[in-house]
Amino acid sequence: MASSAGCASSYCSRIFLTYEPSLAGNAIFLAVFAVLIPVTFALGIKYKSSIFAATLNTGLALEVVGYIGRVLLHSSPNDRSYFILFLIGTVIGPTFICAAMFLVMPQIVTVYGDEFRSWRPGWYSYLFYALSTVSVVLELVGGILSTIRDDSGDIDTGVPILIAGLAIQLFALAIFIFHAILFAIAVRTRHHALDIKFAGIYNSGSFKIFLLAFSLATLLLVVRTAYRLVVVAEGYGSSIAQSEILFLVLDGLMVLLASLLLLVFFPGRVLPDSQPQTMTRRISKTPLRPIRPAPYESPSTHHSPTYNPSSVRSSQHNYSPRKMQYPVQPPPQGGMVDSDALW
């Protein structure tokens, strides 16, 4: 372990790492996050989910920046610029991944029916996008203020701002999970009222697996955000903040697994084109087969311009057992059924 004794400032131990980050471990996370970026881009094009893919890719790119900083910190643990790259990238990156997940929930609601939701469509977008935006701004400002200078005043100001940003992100996830649970309860208790036009989607096994993966990814991001909130609240020099194993497991691994779940079970695969109206169009793409008319309901040809009486008379002599058509006989008098007319 390297020591921070070489740092001239008395506040250095509150900011920089007191150990050399593992080169192999951080390089692996860096490589995997970097590989996921073109994969997300390709899936977004294939399934026409450009907004979701762009938001998720922004979070992955920030994670790459963060782990570049950690790899560089391996040789220079006290370098301020490398620490800023690590802190800003790994703090803000998951916020964009959460924002990408917020984009998916309205599409899930559309599959089951808007009457099952516990929120108004108007405030859903404003609330979660506003919370995500405020969280990103506070995390960026707090991270810069707490690392850019050694002055105690800047550190004491930046840390609470960073804590507020992480707390807002955790609060947004809590609201998201709460309304998702209410929605699931409504669907479970009133499943008889589901719209049958989307039965092919919500009854499919792939959609159910997607919901399970989506829920697991949400819980992983909750664990990561709670851990990072505790780290900042305890201080950069605390034992929990200076433990690389805890960081790689509770931060890096949680974010990586959540990203992999979102890519393996890409929303566009079960929510075609990421648009409700497209889902309706694809489900009704194959028209219903028309009902064949009964043999005795043959259309009249007397009003057809190509009607030829002679051809009709001549065709009556062509007998085919597969095209047995008998003239409709009037029912016998007395209300009795003639047995010969049935055969």
CB 106 within 8 A of CB 118: no
Q: Report the mean per-residue pLDDT for the chain.
A: 79
- Among 16-25, 32-41, 266-275, name the most confident range: 32-41
Burial letters 268-277, b for 16+ CB under 10 A, else e: bebbbebebe
Tell me the per-residue pLDDT of 291-303, one tens digit each, with 9 for 90 and over.
Answer: 444 444 445 444 4
> Which H/E stretch holds residue 67?
helix 50-73
Q: At 232, phi and psi to the nearest 5? A: -70, -40
Residue 331 one-letter amino acid: P
DSSP 340: G
- Quote the pLDDT of residue 260: 98
Tell me the per-residue pLDDT of 208-239, one tens digit each, with 9 for 90 and over.
Answer: 999 999 999 999 999 999 999 999 999 888 89
pLDDT band at 251 (very low <50, low <70, confident <90, very high): very high
Q: Determine the Cα–Cα distance for residues 24 and 300; give it in Å rounded to an integer.
A: 83
- Quote the pLDDT of residue 150: 60
- Quote the pLDDT of residue 263: 97
Q: What is the mean pLDDT of residues 251-261?
A: 98
Concatenating the DSSP letter of every residue in 108-155 gives: HHHHH-GGG-SS-HHHHHHHHHHHHHHHHHHHHHHHHHTTS---HHHH
CB 162 within 8 A of CB 21: no
Burial letters 33-51, b for 16+ CB under 10 A, else e: beebbebbbebbeebebee
| Look-up of token digits 């433990």 | 243
| Look-up of token digits 């309901």 | 297
Angle at CA of residue 105, ends 267 and 225, nearest 5°: 95
- Quote the pLDDT of residue 78: 84
Number of Cβ within a 10 Å radius of residue 249: 14
Q: Determine the Cα–Cα distance for residues 17 and 54; give it in Å rounded to an integer.
A: 32
| Look-up of token digits 């450009």 | 50
| Percentage of residues in the chain having pLDDT higher than 90 | 50
| Look-up of token digits 């707090």 | 142
Lowest mean pLDDT among 66-75, 151-160, 190-199, 331-340: 331-340
Q: What is the mean pLDDT of residues 90-101?
A: 97
Q: Is the pLDDT of residue 313 over 90?
A: no
Q: What is the mean pLDDT of residues 85-108?
A: 95
Sign of the alpha-carbon torsion through 27, 28, 29, 31: positive
Q: Is the pLDDT of residue 81 over 60?
A: yes
pLDDT band at 155 (very low <50, low <70, confident <90, very high): low
| Percentage of residues in the chain having pLDDT higher than 70 | 70
Q: Is the pLDDT of residue 139 over 80?
A: yes
Q: Is the pLDDT of residue 335 over 80?
A: no
Q: Is the pLDDT of residue 304 over 50?
A: no
Q: What is the mean pLDDT of residues 255-279?
A: 78
Rounded to 10 deg, the angle between the 80-112 and 205-234 helix axes is 150
Tell me the per-residue pLDDT of 193-202, one tens digit each, with 9 for 90 and over.
Answer: 777 777 888 8
- Where do the H-state alpha helices sit in 119-252? 121-145, 152-189, 199-202, 205-234, 244-247
Q: Is the pLDDT of residue 50 over 50?
A: yes
CB 160 within 8 A of CB 138: no
3-state secondary structure 93-108: HHHHHHHHHHHHHHHH
